[in-house]
């Protein structure tokens, strides 16, 4: 019924992940599904603290996940990278400890994020750890404005200096923030099916993604724990478009936004966007 009720189930389910092969197999199951949905690039979030606090070494987690990502590049022709997320219900000291464990493996993930429950855990709680991540040259994102207020989005931008906002749907409650997001081209990684399951919106036809697009925001559609929320990326597109009567131009815009907002090399982005343009032109014809 809300994010915390999901997290309680999520953390219990994670207890079966113990060995490197477990993490590889879990990631590989997702990646093969993503390939079947014609996904070219995926940036996977993982929460090492979920596992290290159970006694699973960080090395086991990252090695298993990264091996699956590397395998996807060879066997699936897919670009897959990892983003390490700190759990915001834990202390910043715990996040700093996790970062210290992670930095020797910095070449195996591209950035850091902030997830778990927003309520009572504002972005500034993690100012020091994000400053260290920025100094280390990591890309920065954060969950903000899903259940938390618009101010959390502002603080994620101004205190944590993130480049993307995960979720961010509550930005519409602050018109000045909406204008800023549009002006600065800050991407919002919106997760429609997750928003319905967690009661951020009561029903898909009440989702505000069309309004976000109409305001010129760089919105992307994403899956969020798809095995739990009943929909991978294509299902998120299908249900969103059916409920809100979005058109082909919206599909193109959302897909292009996703490539532009990714942390992939510019040459890869240009190649994928050219492929998208060609596909859209043939579809429109």
Please indicate, yes or no, if residue 120 is contained in any of the structural domains.
Answer: yes
Say if residue 7's pLDDT is above 90. no
Count structural domains, the chain.
1
Please indicate, yes or no, if residue 285 is contained in any of the structural domains.
Answer: no
Please indicate, yes or no, if residue 30 is contained in any of the structural domains.
Answer: yes
Please indicate, yes or no, if residue 70 is contained in any of the structural domains.
Answer: yes
- Smallest CA-to-CA distance from 269 within 44, 73, 40 is with 40
* pLDDT more than 70, % of the chain: 100
Give residue 13's pLDDT: 81
Please give the model's pTM, rounded to 2 decimal places: 0.95
Q: What is the pLDDT of residues 12-29, one digit of tens each?
A: 788 899 999 999 999 999
Please indicate, yes or no, if residue 276 is contained in any of the structural domains.
Answer: no
Say if residue 1's pLDDT is above 70. no
Please indicate, yes or no, if residue 169 is contained in any of the structural domains.
Answer: yes
Active site residue: 146, 173, 266, 281, which one? 146
Q: What is the pLDDT of residues 44-89, one digit of tens each?
A: 999 999 999 999 999 999 999 999 999 999 999 999 999 999 999 9
28: domain CATH number is: 3.20.20.140
Q: What is the DSSP string of the chain?
A: --HHHHHHHHHHHGGG--SHHHHHHHHHHHHHHHHHTT--EEEEEE-HHHHHTTT--HHHHHHHHHHHHHHHHHHT--EEEEEEEEETTS-HHHHHHHHHHHGGGGGG--EEEEES--TT--GGGGHHHHHHHHHTT-EEEEEESSSS-HHHHHHHHHTS--SEEEE-GGGGG-HHHHHHHHHHT-EEEE-HHHHHHTTSSSSGGG--HHHHHHTT-EEEE--SSHHHHT--HHHHHHHHHHHHT--HHHHHHHHHHHHHHS-S-HHHHHHHHHHHHHHHHHHH-
**20 assigned to active site:** no
Please indicate, yes or no, if residue 281 is contained in any of the structural domains.
Answer: no
Domain of residue 222 covers: 3-267
Report, as an integer, the average pLDDT of 215-236: 94
């Amino acid at each position: 019924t809300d994010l915390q009720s999901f997290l309680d189930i999520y953390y219990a389910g994670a207890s079966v992940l113990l060995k490197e092969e477990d993490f590889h197999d879990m990631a590989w199951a997702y990646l093969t599904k993503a390939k079947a949905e014609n996904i070219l690039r995926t940036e996977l979030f993982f929460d090492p603290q979920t596992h290290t606090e159970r006694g699973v070494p960080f090395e086991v987690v990252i090695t298993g996940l990264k091996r699956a990502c590397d395998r996807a590049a060879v066997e699936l022709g897919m670009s897959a990278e990892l983003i390490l997320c700190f759990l915001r219900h834990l202390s910043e000291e715990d996040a700093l400890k996790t970062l210290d464990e992670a930095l020797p493996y910095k070449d195996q993930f591209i950035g850091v994020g902030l997830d778990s429950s927003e309520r009572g855990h504002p972005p500034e709680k993690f100012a020091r750890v994000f400053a260290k991540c920025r100094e280390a040259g990591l890309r920065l994102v954060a969950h903000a404005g899903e259940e938390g207020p618009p101010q959390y989005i502002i603080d994620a931008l101004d205190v944590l200096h993130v480049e993307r906002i995960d979720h961010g749907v509550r930005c519409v409650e602050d018109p000045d923030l909406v204008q800023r997001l549009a002006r600065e081209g800050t991407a919002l990684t919106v997760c429609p099916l997750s928003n319905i399951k967690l009661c951020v919106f009561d029903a898909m036809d009440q989702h505000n993604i069309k309004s976000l697009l109409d305001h010129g925001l760089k919105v992307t559609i994403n899956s969020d724990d798809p095995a739990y929320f009943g929909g991978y990326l294509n299902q998120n597109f299908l249900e969103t478009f059916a409920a809100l009567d979005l058109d082909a131009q919206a599909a193109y815009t959302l897909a292009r936004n996703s490539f532009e907002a990714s942390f992939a090399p510019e040459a890869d982005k240009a190649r994928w966007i050219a492929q998208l343009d060609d596909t859209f032109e043939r579809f429109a014809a």
